[in-house]
Chains A and B, each alone.
Chain A
């Protein structure tokens, strides 16, 4: 699959126009989509106009950047002005945001050609894209298996060559886990790196926007275009943005922490473990030092996450009230019944579960036992990482404990589905940057290597992932 920089070179040399590139992209989508089902809707008309604008820039010598004219996809949770965006939910059917999310606006300014909106679990709640209110996306490596989730449509689109890059969001692993299961690169930046303005919120203290790409360099390029402070998101950070200058610096002399607990989690498949161990051996041969580190509260991360994320979502989803946007059950005789009937008709099972769980955890008399307790555990988990980073520069592990699983295998047991996020959600609870890079296969299916680094060390995570990519591809 061609990378952003390869395509940029071809566009710059005028070997191909952005409009021709778009035609090829749309043809590829038409060919792959009956098998993959990555897209909820295509935006070919918009893409056509954006590609023509890009061609004018190339023709007239206007300002072009690495992303100018590159076809890309956006997850169905980021606002795109005038384009239907539904958060994978029936309750928002027909909703057309009147503004762009900041991440989308910045990519538009960087020359985005938006080919379509990708499928995801409803309100980004899930690990398989089976919770979409519309349909299930298939893993391009085996259509009987899930692509992971919640950014499963974005991961599958990139893996199947249906987009050069795609945007996702990551609340507990929703970029990194589908990237791992589909064999692409996925990066969750430090909390605060990318503005959340215009992102349909799931859990506001955990959500981050990030890229899914074919290569680590592509992830750095997309992140560089999106990142940076935004007056419209008070949690976006005013920090220098530079993800490219140390990308090729290698791992010589870096200490990579191997957390014992992350190699002992329930359900870690032997084939995943051995693929990751082989990746670590290669990083060691490339000059990294592997050191043992401890994350002693790992066992409690899942429980804390499944209080905090549902609590925040129950609050955020209160705005789905049949008044300002989305569907309304017109049979309701009054406002109260309108809430009940519309939310019953519009929300699928996983959203119902989490909204009830969160409402319970925040309800009077239970707040201390659940929400406050979970926020204290969160402190312990963040401290675990701080302590570990005294002894290492980055933490490495599998991204997900399993390869892509069969469609339907976990839908009746929500808890077994949640376990697929056990290695990624710690990064969200602690606000750390994390990247997943493909590291071989198990039973013919992709495995992901996760690299976590301290706050604001996004560039270092990219650097380690890039170093691994080089030793992997050299082998």
Chain B
């Protein structure tokens, strides 16, 4: 689960969280007591209709502003680490 959530945990941490989450899930399992067969799920809590707008461009961030917080940027692009390497991927 940690890997699926992209959290790089150490084995000892995995055990620590597994124990804690087990306790929380045990409480959550109480939901099974409730018969919800005929109950619709809540999709939105306050009834609101879709709000549409004209398909017109609005003021937006400049590329410089959008990139200003990036750990690494070059030539108007975000720079990411290589997808593949020859190491311990």
A307 to B42 alpha-carbon distance, docked (Å): 13
Closest Cβ of chain A to B43, distance in Å, is 8
Q: Which of B36, B65, B84 is in CB contact (< 8 Å) with A377?
A: B36
A356 to B31 alpha-carbon distance, docked (Å): 19
A181 to B41 alpha-carbon distance, docked (Å): 34
Contact A382-B45, Cβ < 8 Å, known A302-B27, A304-B31, A359-B5: yes
Closest to A379 in B: B42
Give me 8 other A-B pairs in contact (C-beta within 8 A), A338-B80, A353-B17, A353-B20 excluded.
A94-B69, A98-B61, A234-B48, A334-B89, A335-B81, A355-B5, A414-B20, A429-B45
Using a CB–CB cutoff of 8 Å, the interface residues on chain B facing chain A are 1-9, 17, 20-21, 23-25, 27-28, 30-34, 36, 39-46, 48, 50-51, 53, 61, 65-66, 68-72, 78, 80-85, 87-89
Please choose the segment from A61-69, A123-131, A367-375, A465-473 that sits at the chain B interface, where 4 or more of its residues have CB less than 8 A away.
Answer: A367-375
Q: Which of B6, B28, B87 is in CB contact (< 8 Å) with A307?
A: B28
- Tell yes or no: A96 within 8 A of B by CB: yes
Closest Cβ of chain A to B87, distance in Å, is 4
Closest Cβ of chain B to A1, distance in Å, is 34
Chain B residues lying within 8 Å of A415, measured Cβ to Cβ, are: 23-24, 27
Closest to B32 in A: A373
Using a CB–CB cutoff of 8 Å, the interface residues on chain A facing chain B are 94-96, 98-99, 190-192, 205, 231, 234-235, 237-238, 297, 299-300, 302-304, 306-307, 314, 318, 321-328, 332-341, 343-344, 347, 352-353, 355-360, 363, 370, 372-380, 382, 414-415, 418, 429-431, 455
Which of A234, A303, A341 has the largest count of B CB atoms less than 10 A from its CB? Answer: A303
Closest Cβ of chain B to A417, distance in Å, is 11
A431 to B87 alpha-carbon distance, docked (Å): 49
DSSP majority for the A interface?
helix
Find out whether the CB atom of A370 lies under 8 angstroms from the CB atom of B28.
Answer: yes
Find out whether the CB atom of B34 lies under 8 angstroms from the CB atom of A378.
Answer: no
A95 to B25 alpha-carbon distance, docked (Å): 34
Chain B residues lying within 8 Å of A370, measured Cβ to Cβ, are: 28
Chain B residues lying within 8 Å of A335, measured Cβ to Cβ, are: 80-83
Chain A residues lying within 8 Å of B34, measured Cβ to Cβ, are: 297, 300, 377, 380
Q: Which of A300, A334, A429 is in CB contact (< 8 Å) with B81?
A: A334
Find out whether the CB atom of A373 lies under 8 angstroms from the CB atom of B68.
Answer: no
A325 to B17 alpha-carbon distance, docked (Å): 27
Find out whether the CB atom of B69 lies under 8 angstroms from the CB atom of A334.
Answer: no
Find out whether the CB atom of A333 lies under 8 angstroms from the CB atom of B31.
Answer: no
Find out whether the CB atom of A344 lies under 8 angstroms from the CB atom of B7.
Answer: yes
A382 to B50 alpha-carbon distance, docked (Å): 21
Closest Cβ of chain B to A4, distance in Å, is 28
Chain A residues lying within 8 Å of B9, measured Cβ to Cβ, are: 344, 352
Closest Cβ of chain B to A316, distance in Å, is 12
Find out whether the CB atom of B41 lies under 8 angstroms from the CB atom of A352.
Answer: no
Chain A residues lying within 8 Å of B40, measured Cβ to Cβ, are: 376, 379
Closest to A321 in B: B6
Find out whether the CB atom of A323 lies under 8 angstroms from the CB atom of B70.
Answer: yes
Chain B residues lying within 8 Å of A192, measured Cβ to Cβ, are: 46, 48
A386 to B65 alpha-carbon distance, docked (Å): 46
Closest to A341 in B: B8
Closest Cβ of chain A to B72, distance in Å, is 7
Closest to A299 in B: B30
A96 to B87 alpha-carbon distance, docked (Å): 34
Find out whether the CB atom of A430 lies under 8 angstroms from the CB atom of B45.
Answer: yes
Q: Which of B30, B39, B41, B87 is in CB contact (< 8 Å) with A334?
A: B87
Contact A303-B27, Cβ < 8 Å, known A325-B70, A359-B1: yes
Please list 7 pairs of residues, one from A and one from B, whose beta carbons are closer than 8 Å in the complex, sorted by A's number.
A304-B31, A306-B28, A333-B88, A363-B4, A377-B36, A378-B45, A431-B45
Closest to A336 in B: B89
Find out whether the CB atom of B72 lies under 8 angstroms from the CB atom of A328.
Answer: yes
Closest Cβ of chain B to A327, distance in Å, is 7
Closest Cβ of chain A to B48, distance in Å, is 6
Find out whether the CB atom of A191 lies under 8 angstroms from the CB atom of B46.
Answer: yes
A341 to B88 alpha-carbon distance, docked (Å): 13
Q: Which of B7, B42, B78 is in CB contact (< 8 Å) with A340?
A: B7
Which of B7, B43, B45 has the largest count of A CB atoms less than 10 A from its CB? Answer: B45
A322 to B81 alpha-carbon distance, docked (Å): 10
A373 to B42 alpha-carbon distance, docked (Å): 10
A318 to B33 alpha-carbon distance, docked (Å): 32
Q: Which of A231, A343, A414, A430 is in CB contact (< 8 Å) with B7?
A: A343
Which of A190, A335, A343, A376 has the largest count of B CB atoms less than 10 A from its CB? Answer: A376
Find out whether the CB atom of B4 lies under 8 angstroms from the CB atom of A359.
Answer: yes
Q: Which of A304, A307, A356 is in CB contact (< 8 Å) with B2?
A: A356
Q: Which of A205, A303, A356, A414 is in CB contact (< 8 Å) with B28?
A: A303
Chain A residues lying within 8 Å of B24, measured Cβ to Cβ, are: 306, 353, 357, 414-415, 418
Closest Cβ of chain B to A325, distance in Å, is 4
Closest Cβ of chain A to B13, distance in Å, is 8
Closest Cβ of chain A to B2, distance in Å, is 6
